Amino acid sequence: MTRPFNFSAGPATLPESVLEQAAAEMLDWRGSGMSVMEMSHRGREFGQICDQAEADLRELLGLSGDYAVLFMQGGATAQNALLPLNLIARKPERQADYLITGSWSRKSWVEAQRYGDIHVVAQSSEARHIDGREQGSFTWVPPVAEWQVRKSASYLHFCSNETIGGVEFLNWPTQQELGVHDVPLVVDASSHFLSRPFPIERAGVIYAGAQKNAGPAGVTVVVVRRDLLGHALPECPSAFDFANVAKESSRFNTPPTYAIYIAGLVYRWILDQGGLASMDEANRVKAERLYQFIDNSQFYHNSIHTAVRSRMNVPFVLANESLNDAFLAGAQQAGLLALKGHKSVGGMRASIYNAMPLAGVEALIDYMKTFEKTHG
Ligand SMILES: *Cc1c(COP(=O)(O)O)cnc(C)c1O
């Protein structure tokens, strides 16, 4: 069976072998006589699935015992509230600091304001001249030297890959670079989690909804340094208190069992491909191909500052916006799905996550060339 290439930003394409394995195991998981969906979350079988998923994720990330892995529900959006509920009371001032580089980090900042004294350390909402070019709103990242972090803040939040804007950065600063010593970084890595190695030891919390690059919708992974557990506000729901979830190995209450199972198959697939170093290399090649093609064209354009262009989410516009519908209809016919850009930025967006093969990117480029020839 040949399937089209799916460029959806999320829920997004999954490795075909993962889907095939899930199909083969659907009615009877490895002789248990049950579908994974039918198993008790307290039973031996699901215990194996969940523990293996955690072990494989730890291996992929090279996680030390200093960090707990939590499989939670509610998506990254729920974390916008759960992070302050769990962390803001670490210090008596109840302060948290936020960097704003696009739609997702802005949403996090808005939600956090319900829980304490929230401050913006820097933002890229204004246009700025960089390297002799005018960079528009949310197409660049403020240099770390400009982040005004408060020493009394309980944590510093940022989004390391803005899925909508297409801005990605890996310069997660050290405490020294920030001029603080106990302001742990809290990173929304939803849309590039497991796409490349991260400087994990610089962060206190890394969280990601699985449905972008690392599994199906329904499970949110939270990697949290253990010394940050145990500070939840009294009004934090007990099922969302990180300390409870950690203590019960993500089974404080019924977790999203099937989503954890599929995420586990994705982790195993990544390990079989050679781990994050292999993902890193493959993703670099795919993104370079697409950006090079766009940059060499007069017909397509990407406006993100080159140093912070996302390797996962590539937004682009057509020189003639009135051709958008024709572009999308033709793409669909050519077996290239879900290229419509987010409504807030318009144009197109190609999400090229781990599970998108190079052949998919090549097919997209071929289609873009043909479309330009016939409409340019
Ligand atoms: C998709 C996304 C979210 C929201 O995820 P939900 O699962 O819909 O809550 C938050 N942050 C980033 C970076 C995302 O890509």
Outline where 117-227 has alpha helix (H): 175-178
Domain final residue pick, 272, 299, 326: 272
Structural domain for 362, as ranges: 275-375
Smallest Cα–Cα separation from 189: which of 216, 161, 213, 167?
A: 161
Is residue 259 domain-shared with residue 310, that is, in the same domain? no
268 plus 280 within the same structural domain:
no
- Is residue 2 one of the residues assigned to a domain? no
Domain boundary among 217, 239, 272: 272
Give 24 Cα–ligand 1 centroid separation in angstroms. Answer: 30
Paired with 188 in beta bridges are: 159, 207
Catalytic residue among 29, 91, 97, 104: 104
Q: How far apart are CA 207 and CA 61, in angstroms?
A: 13
For residue 104, the ligand 1 atom closest to its alpha carbon is 11
Q: Does 350 lie in the same domain as 244?
A: no
Is residue 167 within 8 Å of residue 191, measured between CB atoms?
no
Same domain, 168 and 207: yes
Active site residue 212: yes
307: in domain: yes
Domain count, the chain: 2
Whether residue 360 sits in one domain with residue 248: no
Prediction pTM value: 0.98
In a domain, 10, yes or no: no
Last residue of a domain, one of 272, 291, 320: 272
Residues 254 and 230 in one domain: yes
Which atom of ligand 1 lies nearest, measured to the CA of 209? 7
- Give dist(CA 337, CA 252) in Å, integer: 39
pLDDT tens for the 376 residues of the chain, in order: 689 999 999 999 999 999 999 999 999 999 999 999 999 999 999 999 999 999 999 999 999 999 999 999 999 999 999 999 999 999 999 999 999 999 999 999 999 999 999 999 999 999 999 999 999 999 999 999 999 999 999 999 999 999 999 999 998 999 999 999 999 999 999 999 999 999 999 999 999 999 999 999 999 999 999 999 999 999 999 999 999 999 999 999 999 999 999 999 999 999 999 999 999 999 999 999 999 999 999 999 999 999 999 999 999 999 999 999 999 999 999 999 999 999 998 999 999 999 999 999 999 999 999 999 999 8
Contact, 242 vs 206, CB < 8 A?
Answer: no
Residue 204 and residue 220: Cα distance in Å, rounded? Answer: 16
- The residues that bridge with 96 in the sheet, in sequence order, are 118
Q: How far apart are CA 200 and CA 284, in angstroms?
A: 20
Q: Can you give the CATH number for the domain in which 224 is found?
A: 3.40.640.10
Residue 7 is assigned to a structural domain of this protein: no
Reported as type and span, the H/E element at residue 348 is: strand 348-351
* Residue-level pLDDT at 242: 98
In a shared domain, residues 256 and 122 = yes
Please say whether the beta carbons of 161 and 190 come within 8 A.
yes
In a shared domain, residues 226 and 298? no
Instruction: Concatenate the DSSP letters of all residues of 147-161 into one string.
Output: ----TT-S-EEEESE
CATH number at 355 reads 3.90.1150.10
- Does 247 qualify as catalytic in the annotation? no
Are 288 and 212 in the same domain? no
Ligand 1: which residue has its CA nearest to atom 13? 190
Q: Are residues 280 and 265 in the same domain?
A: no
Unique residue bearing structure tokens 């030390």: 64
Which residue type does 256 have?
A: P
Strands 185-188 and 203-209, sheet pairing:
parallel
Residue at 11 is within a domain? no
pLDDT of 2 reads 85
- Asked if residues 341 and 327 have their Cβ atoms less than 8 Å apart, the reply is no
* Location of structure tokens 């742990």: 184
* Bond into 234 cis (ω within 30): no
User: For 53-107, what is each residue's pLDDT tens digit?
Assistant: 999 999 999 999 999 999 999 999 999 999 999 999 999 999 999 999 999 999 9
For residue 376, the model assigns a pLDDT of 80
With tokens 């803005």, the residue in question is 162
Is 154 found in the same domain as 248? yes
Ligand 1 atom at minimal distance to the Cα of residue 77: 9
| Helix residue spans in 129-256 (DSSP H) | 175-178, 242-247
Active-site residue among 172, 188, 269, 340?
Answer: 188
* Residue 97 lies inside a defined structural domain of this protein: yes
Ligand 1 neighbourhood includes 75 CB (under 6 angstroms): yes
Q: Is 80 close to ligand 1, i.e. is its CB under 6 Å away?
A: no
Q: Which of 29, 109, 147, 212 is catalytic?
A: 212
- Residue 8 covered by a domain: no
The alpha carbon of 134 is separated from its chain's Cα centroid by a whole number of angstroms, namely 28
Handedness of CA 211, 214, 219, 222 (dihedral sign): negative
Which numbered atom of ligand 1 lies nearest the CA of 79? Answer: 9
Q: Is the CB of 35 under 6 A from ligand 1?
A: no
Mode of pairing for the β-strands spanning 156-159 and 95-100 = parallel
Q: Is the CB of 264 under 6 A from ligand 1?
A: no
132 Cα: distance to centroid of ligand 1 (angstroms): 33
Closest protein CA for atom 10 of ligand 1: 76
User: What pLDDT score was predicted for residue 103?
Assistant: 98
Residue 221's closest CA among 244, 199, 246? Answer: 246
Does the C-beta of 212 come closer than 6 Å to ligand 1? yes
Domain membership flag for residue 5: no
Nearest CA to ligand 1 atom 3: 76
* Claim to verify: residue 71 and residue 134 sit in the same structural domain: yes
